[in-house]
Amino acid sequence: MNNNNYLLQKYEAISLILIIMINKLILNVPFYVVSTVGSGSIINLIYIGIIDFIIVLFIIKFFENFENSDIIDISEFLGRKSI
């Protein structure tokens, strides 16, 4: 009698691992920031936010040239066309 009702499928196992990893990241980031930086954690978060905002603006400015393009068109422009 081979009963496979209790075995996880491949996508279910991957989903569970991803859920655990994302949960760990979300819950441990504030603790890590406060324990590392201490009282300057608010200033550090503002600093990181400003840097992230500048990077997002750079990416938006870069993609304005590729309005109706997908990732393959952009990669062909940056590199060379594959065979």
pLDDT tens sequence across 3-25: 666 677 788 888 889 999 988 88
The reported pTM is: 0.50
CA gap 44, 37 in Å, rounded: 8
Residues ≥6 apart with Cβ < 8 Å to 41 = 33, 34
CA gap 64, 74 in Å, rounded: 11
Q: pLDDT tens across 20-40, in order?
A: 998 888 888 778 878 887 888
Output the pLDDT for position 5: 66
Residues ≥6 apart with Cβ < 8 Å to 82 = 76
For residue 4, give the DSSP letter: -
